[in-house]
Copies of this chain bind each other. A is one copy, B any other.
């Protein structure tokens, strides 16, 4: 697929290439496919937990996580256990986690929408009342991908929103618990943890079991079984977006140290082999320097094999004509992470229509946002920034319209509603409105 001969295997593209659009489309293409077999297995697990509750949940956990527990009591962690995990951390980690949690909390406090109302001349009141969800479920992957930062990013917005109860589920394959994850749950305000995962955990949260309470919304990333299960229960409960692989688009004006940029690309690529790291610039010599830095630094990385695979499969250095073309590419790609490694990023901002998070200037490495800058790291992937937002407080609240007509207002509106309802042949609507018309 790529024409490069560079050791890193990263593709070099130019917007002037005859086949540029096709190659870019190919590079960006991503479809999270859950085939018929996955769907059937998930449907079976969902049905079992819906029908048999805890018993099915215990069975599935024993089977898929290679456990041998006999009841949900063994798969339940209490608040004191979470606090114990937090207190048991080395001081440096404990402090870093607490600082991150505090900054995330402060940022999300700004997202809280207010209820509002206004009164019309005739005394009628219109408004919108904002209320938190009663109960939220946070899915946290187990094993390799168990990230304490994700616990903070998923649970803190729910806590700030005022959700009454936050339930976390996290699988423990082979019984392995991650103390950092539990510590993060303590900091983030999680109320209860069940050490279950997969489609069975999603089923438990969506339908409720004897032990696991039914939640109103499920958020958090997971594998293909988790994603398929979330899609299936959508409507029964709320869900967040189904995430694809993580990606970054770095735009460089040539003024940032090539090694910084190489490492920024690596930090994306090291997530997994499907992750995508793309850099765009109009200075060909600078792109050469970034490529050389990539080749030079790649062998020094702990996760070298993953990075190499990710860069050669889905990475690219794109040479564009100028700033305007870079902007067009930004809005075409609608990246999850956009790093504007340029001199005056504020000047770019008003034209950026689609991006999950925008990292401005040479100092704002994406990694800072991943952990502790404050904004959420759960972001729309695979171009879905065209229509979706970072996870936020607004995902854990909902609105109710409020209408209080005065007798005069009802009379006035009644006349309009009557005409329109009769136009739609809904005559009981019309008559209900007409009762409120003053003669």
Residue numbers of A with Cβ under 8 A of B are 32, 92-93, 96-97, 99-100, 107, 110-111, 113, 116, 118, 124-126, 128-129, 131, 133-134, 147-149, 180, 216-217, 231, 234-235, 237-238, 241-242, 257, 259-260, 263-264, 266-267, 269-271, 301-303, 307, 345-346, 349, 352-361, 363-376, 379-380, 384-390, 392, 394, 398-407, 409-410, 413-417, 419-421, 423-433, 435-436
Contact = CB atoms under 8 A, between A and B. Distances in A.
B387 A133 contact: yes
Given A238-B387, A424-B147, A263 B432 contact: yes
| Copies of this subunit | 2
A375 B372 CA distance: 38
B32 A404 contact: no
Given A263-B432, A414-B368, A399 B405 contact: no
B357 A385 contact: no
B398 A431 contact: no
A385 B235 CA distance: 11
A414 B429 CA distance: 61
Given A266-B428, A427-B301, A410 B365 contact: yes
Q: Which 9 A-B pairs have the closest CB atoms?
A: A375-B401, A238-B387, A360-B404, A363-B410, A96-B419, A266-B428, A357-B401, A389-B399, A367-B429
B134 A386 contact: yes
A370 B429 contact: yes
Given A149-B420, A356-B400, 11 more contacts: A96-B415, A96-B416, A129-B349, A133-B387, A365-B433, A365-B436, A368-B413, A370-B421, A371-B429, A389-B400, A390-B399
Contacts of A216: 386-387
Contacts of A405: 360-361, 363-364, 368, 373
A224 to B, nearest CB: 13
B407 A363 contact: yes
Contacts of A423: 93, 96, 148, 180
B235 A234 contact: no
